[in-house]
């Protein structure tokens, strides 16, 4: 796992946006997996800026969102479809028909989840999956104890998740108790994952995800099994990492390699 420690939220957002933008430019028909929540907001704002000021073209991009609350209409103020429209889709030149968010009002949830998996497969799979992380180490709505081989499905939310998300609603009683979510197994099939985390509240989860054992109790730890994961975290989220200095050294070496200055990494001859 490549670990990039940035100074703060704006720096994390800019770095994350650069990874997404690079893929969009190199492969204009890419399939992006997208996340909601406060953490990716800065990244979306930077992508909007790149679209407006640098001509970043999303016209042939396809997207799949990780999850959606059960029972909320797409127009509900707290639905994830509404979040994506307001935070990104309405401000770039993406074809609305190419944006996919699970339907929280599906009449047959099992069939809908199977269809969502089929749509991802028919699109050629997800090239880059953006992920946030919960304070308890969950990705998407794969709560602690979720199968690491799970697929898109209906999931009950934990009391901790309900408390964390209550700030977006009027009260905890208004937070839906169920969600449709991509499974851990679905996420691990993405060609690349981009994990974002900011703030002291995420420090323990990031420590356990990156340096702890792989366990279903910390579903994000399954990312250790993925062949290509980039974690971009701020100083506060990285504060408990024991190998922070090593991660910094790796990034310095990566920067030199990308600049074509490999000679600076070779042993000096006497």
**Catalytic residue numbers?**
67, 136, 138, 143
3-state secondary structure of 78: coil
Pairing of strands 178-181, 67-69: antiparallel
CA distance 9 to 121: 33
3-state secondary structure of 139: strand
**Helix or strand holding residue 62 (H, E):** strand 62-65
**Cβ–Cβ < 8 Å for 221, 150:** no
3-state secondary structure of 32: strand
CA distance 186 to 106: 20
How many other C-beta atoms lie within 10 A of the C-beta of residue 269? 4
DSSP annotation of 88 reads T
Q: What number of CA atoms fall less than 13 Å from residue 76's CA on the CB side?
A: 18
**Helix or strand holding residue 34 (H, E):** strand 31-34
Three-point CA angle 79, 85, 43, nearest 5°: 100
How many other C-beta atoms lie within 10 A of the C-beta of residue 37? 18
* Token duo for residue 244: 């922070």
């Amino acid at each position: 796992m490549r670990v990039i420690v940035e100074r703060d939220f704006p720096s994390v957002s800019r770095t994350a946006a650069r990874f997404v933008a690079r893929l969009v430019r190199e492969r204009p028909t890419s399939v992006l997996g997208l996340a909601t929540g406060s953490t990716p907001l800065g990244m979306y704002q930077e992508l909007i800026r790149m679209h407006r000021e640098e001509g970043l073209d999303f016209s042939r991009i396809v997207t799949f969102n990780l999850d959606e609350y059960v029972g909320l209409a797409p127009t509900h103020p707290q639905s994830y479809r509404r979040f994506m429209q307001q935070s990104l889709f309405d401000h770039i030149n993406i074809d609305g028909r190419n944006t996919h968010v699970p339907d929280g009002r599906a009449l047959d949830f099992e069939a809908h989840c199977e269809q969502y998996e089929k749509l991802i497969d028919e699109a050629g799979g997800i090239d880059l999956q953006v992920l946030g992380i919960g304070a308890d180490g969950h990705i998407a709505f794969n709560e602690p104890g979720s199968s690491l081989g799970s697929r898109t499905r209906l999931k009950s939310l934990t009391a901790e998740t309900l408390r964390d998300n209550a700030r977006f609603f009027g009260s905890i009683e208004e937070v839906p108790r169920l969600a449709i979510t991509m499974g851990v197994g679905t996420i691990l099939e993405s060609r690349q994952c981009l994990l974002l985390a900011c703030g002291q509240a995420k420090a323990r989860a990031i420590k356990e995800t990156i340096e702890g054992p792989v366990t279903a109790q910390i579903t994000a730890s399954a990312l250790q099994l993925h062949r290509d994961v980039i974690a971009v975290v701020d100083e506060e989220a990285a504060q408990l990492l024991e190998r922070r200095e090593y991660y910094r050294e790796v990034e310095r070496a990566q920067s030199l390699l990308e600049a074509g200055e490999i000679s600076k990494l070779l042993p000096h001859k006497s």
